[in-house]
Structure 1
């Protein structure tokens, strides 16, 4: 059995046929590419196949994102730093790191979203 995923690469879409057999043996769950690799294989970290409907929806949304006009590299870098940094770095420290690097400090809405309840 196999699942199809539409992968967007900047201006073109390509369809990838992915096997859905279970093969968790050599799959890593760490690092920035672990999720993308699991999706490409069609296999979740627990070894279970990712349902084709989920892969199809993911492919559609990623194709839309792939076609979205970007606002700038620095804006995207800052967004990623905030989104990921908030998981690992205390608020005051992340705020100072942003300022030290020449980015805008954390916004109130970012603090409320990422740090409320911590």
Structure 2
């Protein structure tokens, strides 16, 4: 295994790993990300960057739900949201994130 390949594997964890890989144009396995995929990604991200935000708390809650649902059981995440002062999971969120599990 080369140092370059090893370096790529070391950066596959954490919140910024995907952003770093996109910026380099290289996937975690060391293969180049096709230009058409990068172009579409940047186009959509530019649209998102120009979208008016509704507030930091709303965005925080959205991220907590979206990411937390991957790691935390539904009842536990719901309680954690309430305990932190956020609104509990909405029925549509529970169905979307937990319905198929």
TM-score range, shorter chain: over 0.9
1:52 is aligned to 35
Higher helix proportion: 2
Match of 1:92 in 2: 75
List, as ranges, runs of 4+ consecutive aligned residues in structure 1 with deviation greater than 2 Å.
none
Question: What are the Cα deviations for residues 69-115 of structure 1, in whole angstroms up to 9, with x where unaligned?
Answer: 00000000000000000000000000000000000000000000000
- Aligned-pair RMSD on alpha carbons? 0.8
Considering fraction of residues, name the structure with more strand: 1
C-alpha distance in 1 between matches for 2:54 and 2:60: 11
2:50 counterpart of 1:67: yes
Structure 1 unaligned runs (5+)?
1-22
Determine which structure has greater relative contact order: mean sequence separation of CA pairs < 8 Å that are 6+ residues apart, divided by chain length: 1
Q: CA deviation at 1:25?
A: 3.1
Distance apart, 1:57 and its partner CA: 0.5
TM superposition shift of 1:26: 1.0
How many residue pairs get matched? 96
Cα distance in 2 for residues equivalent to 1:89 and 1:24: 32
Are residue 24 (structure 1) and residue 8 (structure 2) matched?
no
TM (norm. structure 1) is: 0.79
TM-score of the pair, normalised by structure 2: 0.92
Note the alpha carbon deviations across 1:46-68, whole angstroms, 9 max, x for none.
11100001000101000000000
